[in-house]
Amino acid sequence: MARMGMDTADPASFLSIRFALAAVALIVIALLVPSLATPSLQKLKADWKQLAHAAVAGVLLQAIYLGGVFAGVNQGIGAGLSSLIVGIQPVLTVVLAALWLKEKLSWAKFIGIALGFAGVALVTAEWGHVEGAVPVSGVLFCLAALLGITIGTLYQKRYCQTLDLHLNMIMQYVASVLFLLPLALAFESFNIDWTPKLVAVLVWLVFVLSIGAVFLLMWLIKVGEAGRVSTLFFLVPPVVAIEAWILFGEPLTLNVIVGTLMCILGVAIVSGVLSKHRKQQA
């Protein structure tokens, strides 16, 4: 969907529109169905320090992370390399969470992370490569995305736990628009080709991803360890590969299958699913 969207708009322009629509949709939901946005918009009069923390987390998690990935791909970096760079995120998050948030490190986490990262490497190795030299600008954008999602996850866990999730997401998207819009106006044409395809892409990205999936991510960060939640990102490349096989007939190779199984096993080990299952059996 992101690739299709960038066919009709530049990265910062496209994301500015996406985040603005997501913020408006969340505000409308809060006004029309206050029970779904507890404690609704009345809490805007509450702790402005918490709202500021949410804005910082939003710039890191939304603007810098997604903006970096979109800009990297737009610069010509291959899907496999960009996914591999950003795929380091769970590794960095677990290490930094131990240092900053005092989350416990264990051999199970190390083993699970190693399996997950190896699985991501196998899957992404099957994706398209860039012909010729790898663009340095694309790599730098992806590295910025890596730092954004890593620091943003830890920042969200550390400073945004007492703020209502609905308000948290509104502030994240408003801050992301304020961050990206000047960049789009300064460095991009901001010419938008409003085709039916772009409208369909935006509907999916706004309601399914920016509201549904991101709300779930914020909740997981709130109730779980930042390191364990981050390992779920190991599952993204394998799931994308399987979806591409189902939807577009792209080959499902042995590397993809083995890599998918390694990712699933790695996430299961880190999340403690296997140990919990053993305790239940005992």
Cα separation of 200 and 34, whole Å? 27
Burial (Cβ within 10 Å: 0-12, 13-18, ≥19) of residue 42? exposed
Task: Grade residue 170 by pLDDT with cuts at 50, 70 and 90.
Answer: very high
Highest mean pLDDT pick, 20-29, 115-124, 192-201 = 20-29
Lowest mean pLDDT among 30-44, 109-123, 233-247: 30-44
Highest mean pLDDT pick, 11-20, 38-47, 186-195 = 11-20
Is the per-residue pLDDT at 99 higher than 60? Answer: yes
182-211 per-position pLDDT tens digit: 999 998 887 788 888 888 889 999 999 999
Give Dmax (Cα) for the chain: 63
Give strand ranges (E) for 108-254: none
Number of domains in the chain: 1
Which residues span the domain enclosing 206? 2-281
- What pLDDT sits at residue 278? 46
Burial (Cβ within 10 Å: 0-12, 13-18, ≥19) of residue 3? exposed
Which amino acid does the sequence have at 262?
A: M
Q: How far is CA 234 from the centre of its chain?
A: 11
61-87 per-position pLDDT tens digit: 999 999 998 888 788 776 667 777 887
Query: How is residue 203 written in tokens?
Result: 């509907």
Query: How is residue 189 written in tokens?
Result: 């044409």
Give me the mean pLDDT over the 134-163 stretch. 88
Is the per-residue pLDDT at 60 higher than 90? Answer: yes
Task: Grade residue 17 by pLDDT with cuts at 50, 70 and 90.
Answer: very high
- What pLDDT sits at residue 235? 82
Which amino acid does the sequence have at 174?
A: V
Nearest to 69 by CA among 13, 3, 23, 116: 3
User: 139 near 51, Cβ under 8 Å?
Assistant: no
> For tokens 């795929």, what's the residue?
87
Residue of 155 and 2 predicted with greater confidence: 155
Query: How is residue 219 written in tokens?
Result: 């909740």
Query: How is residue 126 written in tokens?
Result: 């099957």
- What pLDDT sits at residue 242? 80
